[in-house]
Structure 1
Amino acid sequence: MRAYHNALAQPRPHSQSTPVWLFDLDNTLHNASNGIFAAIDGRMTQTIAELLDLDTTKADWLRRHYWQRYGATLIGLHRHHQIDAHEFLHRCHDFDIAPLLSAETQAAALLQRLPGQKIVFTNAPLHYALQVVQQLGLLPVVEGVWSMEHMYLQGQFRPKPSKQLLQQLLARLPVPAQQVILVEDTLRNLKSAKQLGLQTVHRYHAGTPYSALHRGRSPYVDLRVESLRELAQRYHQLKI
């Protein structure tokens, strides 16, 4: 498997009817709130403190501030402090993820029940995403990864929920937007996708920081599920 950005250097014509599934990674394919997010946040705060010569309290505040303002801490650091993005991402995700992974059993078999192509679409760095996919046993199922490294557009990082990012990705997919399904735990990412014509699945569970705030129905969610197993049972309710 390789980075999906490179796998489709030339857009293919929209002639296929097979759907394309875009799966968010953290808190969608696995439960990152069970330990991985805490590890990433800790390393991110430490890295900010070291790179900007701050104490940990100020570094942690800056991490949260840029995340709230831009949707990704990296964007604020790159824009205001000229931090090297690749070094920062590597340092923040350079730890053993295996002991911290928590996911549904038979995840690969559940994804195989979904018709069409499966791609991981994550704001995380590529090396981390590939590690998670491998540890979850999804290498035979996932055909590619679109990661933070592939979200640098027009001189700026534009991660989810950027519409420009989604338009760039759609231009490289072999099907029209209506045949693309985004599966996400973060509603703001689903909103921009729905506005561009994608179908949307909200991966809900109250244990994640985003899902717990949205218990009701949303006009930009086509299907809400609480597990991959439920998605495999109910995907036919989508227009595919």
Structure 2
Amino acid sequence: MNHPTPLPSESAVANPRDLTPFRDVDTWIFDLDNTLYPAHTNLFAQVDERMSEYVAGLLNLERDAAHSLQKDYYRRYGTTLRGLMLEHGINPDGFLEFVHDIDHSKVVPDDRLAAAVEALPGRRFIMTNGTVAHARAIAERLGVHHHFEDIFDIVAADLVPKPHADTYARFWDRHAIDPTHSAMFEDLSRNLAVPHENGMRTVLVVPEGTREVFREDWELEGRNAPHVEYVTDDLAGFLQRIMARPRQPIEASR
């Protein structure tokens, strides 16, 4: 039997043209950095630089040593902040203010994405390991901020980042979200494991050019993991394809 050739923006993990699992989704959850805006904007590189600068000043390290330690904490603890809190007992407020003091002007309005997000039925959220202020600044520049019900940030998560299971549970409880009727969009495969285990539709966003920008090798791994149901290099286009399919009425699906 011949199978259709997978679209370049979607993974062979799931049938790339079978989007029926989204037909009864009524809650849409999006990561922020390198997900809602394209990775080639390289905005997070500014945050990354600020984190290295903070670590160097805090621990009196050379820039390269501070950068290596920062990345080690990021990989082991989910965020550099959590590593610094657990290993060095820092106060998070000063860190969060310092590292998110960046130039957001590289983010430009994305009318195509705004229209695609607006068309999604039901509720929409941003769930980020950053701050509300950082997320709002980006969402406003993209032109999508008014399409989201809430931004769940690292402070709302009690400073425990994704991919910790308790953080997802806290988010779901706060907004009375049923994961089995939800979809999660992320740029890191590991952050989709818990959503998948709890019945969410999971989509890994890996725009073209990701490897040419500031990303660690491990951040690009896992696109073929069992917990990744779909992979796309075009978030707006993927959302448009979901909405182009006949949908099951939400009330009838429950």
CA-to-aligned-CA distance 1:204-232 (integer Å, 9 cap, x gap): 224334674345x4422233322222222
Indicate yes or no: 2:189 matched with 1:178: no
CA–CA distance in 2 between the matches of 1:227 and 1:57?
Answer: 34
Shift in alpha-carbon separation, 1:103–1:29, aligned structure 2, 3 A:
farther
Is 2:134 the counterpart of 1:128?
A: yes
Do the aligned partners of residues 235 and 228 (structure 1) sit closer, same or farther apart at CA in structure 2, a change above 3 Å counting? Answer: same
Match among 25, 31, 36 for residue 32 of structure 2: 25
Unaligned 5+ segments in structure 1 are 1-16
TM (normalized to structure 2)?
Answer: 0.77
1:44 to 44, 51, 56: 51
Q: Does 1:213 align with 2:192?
A: no
Is the CA contact 1:191–1:220 (under 8 Å) kept in the aligned structure 2? yes
Structure with larger Rg = 2
Aligned residue-pair number: 218
Q: What TM-score do you get using the length of structure 1 for normalisation?
A: 0.82
RMSD, aligned α-carbons:
2.3
Pair 1:219–1:61, CA change in 2 (3 A):
closer
Indicate whether 1:188 and 2:173 are aligned. no
**In structure 2, distance between residues paired with 1:202 and 1:61:** 26
Q: 2:118 is matched with which residue?
A: 112
Distance 2:168 2:222 in 1: 23
Of 154, 160, 163, 2:162 maps to 160
CA-to-aligned-CA distance 1:63-99 (integer Å, 9 cap, x gap): 111112112111110111111111101101102211x
**Paired residue for 1:199?**
201
Question: Structure 2 CA distance, aligned partners of 1:104 and 1:134?
Answer: 10
Match of 2:64 in 1: 57
Aligned 8 A contact 1:111 1:141 in 2? yes
User: Could you tell me how far 1:175 is from its partner in structure 2?
Assistant: 4.0
Which of 233, 236, 240 is equivalent to 2:240? 233
Q: Which amino acid aligns with 2:187?
A: D
Query: d(CA) in 1 for partners of 2:193 and 2:108?
Result: 27
Unmatched 5+ stretches in structure 2: 1-23
Q: Aligned pair in 2 of structure 1 residues 176, 159: CA closer, same or farther (>3 Å)?
A: same
Post-superposition shift, 1:21? 0.8
Q: Does the CA contact (< 8 Å) of 1:160 and 1:189 recur in 2?
A: yes
In the superposition, relative to structure 1, how do residues 132 and 34 fare at CA in structure 2: closer, same or farther (>3 Å)?
same
Deviation digits for residues 146-201 of structure 1, max 9, x if unmatched? 0111121xxxx321111111111122333422112111111111111111222212
TM-fit CA distance, 1:18:
6.7
State the partner residue of 1:137.
143
Tell whether the 8 Å contact from 1:108 to 1:138 is kept in structure 2 after alignment. Answer: yes
Supply the distance in 1 between the matched residues of 2:140 and 2:87 (Cα, whole angstroms).
Answer: 35
CA–CA distance in 2 between the matches of 1:206 and 1:109?
21
| Counterpart code for 1:187 | S
SS at match of 2:204: strand
Percent identity at matched positions? 31
Change (3 A) 1:102 1:134: closer
Corresponding letter in the other structure for 2:150: G
State whether residues 34 and 102 of structure 1, in contact with CA within 8 Å, keep that contact through their aligned partners in structure 2.
no
1:151 aligns with 2:153: no
